[in-house]
Amino acid sequence: MSVTRFRFPFVEMPEAAIALREEVRQFLAEERENGGFVPMADCWASAMSPEYSRKVGQRGWLGMTWDKKYGGHGRTFLERYVVTEEMLVAGAPVMAHWIADRQSGPQIIKHAQPHVRDKVIPRIVAGECFCAIGMSEPNSGSDLASVATKAEKVDGGWRVNGTKLWSTGAHGCDYMITLLRTSPPDEKARHEGLSQFIIDLKSPGVSIRGIADIGGQVHFNETQFEDVFVPDDYVLGEVGGGWKMVVGELALERSGPERFLSSFIVLQEAMRLLVNDPSEKTRQVLGEIVAKIKTLRRMSLGIAGLLEEGASPEMEAALVKDGATLFERELLEKLRAILPQHVLASSSGLLPAVLRDGILRVPSSTLRGGTNEVLKGMIARQLGMR
Amino acid sequence: MSETGKIIFDTASRIFEDLSTAEVINAAENGQWPEALWQAIVESGLTLTWISEEAGGVGADMLDGFAVLKAAGGAAVPVPLAETMMAGWLQAKAGLPVGSEPMSVVIGGLHWDGEVLNGSVTGIPHGRNVKNLVVILDSEEGAIALCCKADDVAVRPVAGLSGEPWDTLEFKGVKPDQLGALQDGVDEAAAQALGALIRCAQASGAMAQALELTIQYSMERVQFGRPLAKFQALQHSIAAFAGQVAAINAATDSAAETLARNNRVDNDTWVEIAAAKTRLEEAVNEGAAVAHQVHGAMGFTYEHQLHHLTRRLWSWRDEYGSDAVWSVRLGDEVLKWGAEALWPKITAVSNPR
Ligand SMILES: Cc1cc2nc3c(=O)[nH]c(=O)nc-3n(C[C@H](O)[C@H](O)[C@H](O)COP(=O)(O)OP(=O)(O)OC[C@H]3O[C@@H](n4cnc5c(N)ncnc54)[C@H](O)[C@@H]3O)c2cc1C
Q: Is the C-beta atom of A364 inside 6 A of ligand 1? A: yes
- In B, minimum Cα distance to A294 occurs at B346
* Alpha carbon of A341 to ligand 1 centroid (Å): 33
- Tell the residue nearest (CA) to atom 13 of ligand 1: A166
Which of A86, A137, A249, A253 does the annotation list as catalytic?
A: A253
CB B64 within 8 A of CB B49: yes
User: How much is the average pLDDT of B153-159?
Assistant: 97
* ipTM score: 0.96
Q: In terms of DSSP bridges, do strands A218-231 and A206-212 run parallel, antiparallel, or are they unpaired?
A: antiparallel
Q: Between chains, do B324 and A286 touch, taking CB under 8 Å as contact?
A: no
CB B103 within 8 A of CB B83: yes
Residue type, B226: R
* Alpha carbon of A377 to ligand 1 centroid (Å): 14
What digits encode the pLDDT tens for the residues A118-138? Answer: 999 999 999 999 999 999 999
The answer, yes or no, to whether residue A3 has pLDDT greater than 80, is no
Mean of per-residue pLDDT scores for chain B: 96
User: How much is the average pLDDT of B88-95?
Assistant: 97
- pLDDT in the model for residue A252: 64
Candidate CATH numbers 3.40.1210.10, 1.10.540.10, 3.40.50.300, 3.40.50.2300; the one for domain A15-130:
1.10.540.10
The domain spans of chain A are 15-130, 133-241, 245-382
Backbone angles phi, psi at B174, to 5 degrees: -80, 125
A304 has which bridge partners? none
Q: Between chains, do B251 and A291 touch, taking CB under 8 Å as contact?
A: yes
Q: In terms of DSSP bridges, do strands B111-112 and B222-223 run parallel, antiparallel, or are they unpaired?
A: unpaired
A 259-278 near B (Cβ less than 8 A): 264, 267-269, 271-272, 274-275, 278
Candidate CATH numbers 2.60.40.10, 1.10.486.10, 1.10.645.10, 2.40.110.10; the one for domain A133-241:
2.40.110.10
Closest atom of ligand 1 to A134 CA is: 11
What digits encode the pLDDT tens for the residues A11-33? Answer: 999 999 999 999 999 999 999 99
The span from the CA of B206 to the CA of B21, in Å, is: 15
Write the secondary structure of chain A as one string of H (helix), E (strand) and C (coil): CCCCCCCCCCCCCCHHHHHHHHHHHHHHHHHHHCCCCCCCCCHHHHCCCHHHHHHHHHCCCCCCCCCHHHCCCCCCHHHHHHHHHHHHHHCCCCHHHHHHHHHHHHHHHHHCCHHHHHHHHHHHHCCCCCEEEECCECCECCCHHHCCCEEEEECCEEEEEEEEECCCCHHHCCEEEEEEECCCCCCCCCCCCEEEEEEECCCCCEEEEEEECCCCCEEEEEEEEEEEEEEHHHEECCCCEHHHHHHHHHHHCCCCCHHHHCCHHHHHHHHHHHCCCCCHHHHHHHHHHHHHHHHHHHHHHHHHHHHHCCCCCHHHHHHHHHHHHHHHHHHHHHHHHHCCCHHHHCCCCHHHHHHHHHHHHHHHHCCCCCCHHHHHHHHHHHCCCC
The answer, yes or no, to whether residue A1 has pLDDT greater than 90, is no
- pLDDT in the model for residue B28: 97
CB A185 within 8 A of CB A143: no
Which of A43, A46, A362 minimizes the C-alpha distance to A218?
A46
A 14-33 near B (Cβ less than 8 A): 14-15, 18, 21
What digits encode the pLDDT tens for the residues A255-301? Answer: 999 999 999 999 999 999 999 999 999 999 999 999 999 999 999 99
- pLDDT in the model for residue B55: 87
Burial bucket for residue B212 (CB in 10 Å: 0-12, 13-18, 19+): middle
Which distant-in-sequence residues (6+ apart) come within 8 Å of B312 by Cβ? B73, B76, B162, B164, B202, B203, B206
Alpha carbon B151 to chain centroid distance?
24
Higher-pLDDT residue of A79 and B99 is: A79
Give the CA radius of gyration of chain A: 21
What digits encode the pLDDT tens for the residues A327-351? Answer: 999 999 999 999 998 898 888 899 9
User: How much is the average pLDDT of A193-198?
Assistant: 98
What digits encode the pLDDT tens for the residues A236-246? Answer: 999 999 999 99
The span from the CA of A330 to the CA of B133, in Å, is: 43
What digits encode the pLDDT tens for the residues B37-75? Answer: 999 999 999 999 999 998 888 888 999 999 999 999 999
User: How much is the average pLDDT of A142-168?
Assistant: 97
Residue A187 among the catalytic residues: no
- pLDDT in the model for residue B144: 98
Percentage of residues in chain A having pLDDT higher than 90? 92
The span from the CA of A35 to the CA of B2, in Å, is: 52
Q: Torsion over CA of A110, A113, A115 and A120, rounded to 10 degrees?
A: -50
Structural domains in chain B? 1-79 (no CATH), 101-184 (2.40.110.10), 188-350 (1.20.140.10)
Residue type, B161: L
What digits encode the pLDDT tens for the residues B178-219? Answer: 999 999 999 999 999 999 999 999 999 999 999 999 999 999
Backbone angles phi, psi at A35, to 5 degrees: 75, 20
Secondary structure class of B125 (helix, strand, coil) = strand
Which distant-in-sequence residues (6+ apart) come within 8 Å of B223 by Cβ? none
Q: What is the pTM of this model?
A: 0.97
CB B104 within 8 A of CB B87: yes
- Model confidence band, residue B4 (pLDDT cutoffs 50, 70, 90): confident
- pLDDT in the model for residue B100: 85
The answer, yes or no, to whether residue B353 has pLDDT greater than 80, is no
- Say yes or no: B304 contacts chain A, CB-CB below 8 A: no
The answer, yes or no, to whether residue B1 has pLDDT greater than 80, is no
Which of A212, A175, A206 minimizes the C-alpha distance to A46?
A212
- Say yes or no: A8 contacts chain B, CB-CB below 8 A: yes
Q: In terms of DSSP bridges, do strands B103-107 and B132-139 run parallel, antiparallel, or are they unpaired?
A: parallel
CB A110 within 8 A of CB A119: no
DSSP-H helix ranges across chain B:
3-19, 22-29, 35-43, 62-74, 81-93, 188-220, 232-262, 267-295, 306-316, 323-348
- pLDDT in the model for residue B99: 85
Q: Is the C-beta atom of A44 inside 6 A of ligand 1? A: no
Closest atom of ligand 1 to A99 CA is: 8
Q: Is the C-beta atom of A130 inside 6 A of ligand 1? A: no
Q: Report in angstroms the alpha-carbon separations of B170 from A83, A371, B90, B119, B192.
A: 58, 57, 22, 6, 20
- pLDDT in the model for residue A2: 42
- Tell the residue nearest (CA) to atom 31 of ligand 1: A142
Candidate CATH numbers 3.40.50.1970, 1.20.140.10, 1.10.1660.10, 3.20.20.140; the one for domain A245-382:
1.20.140.10
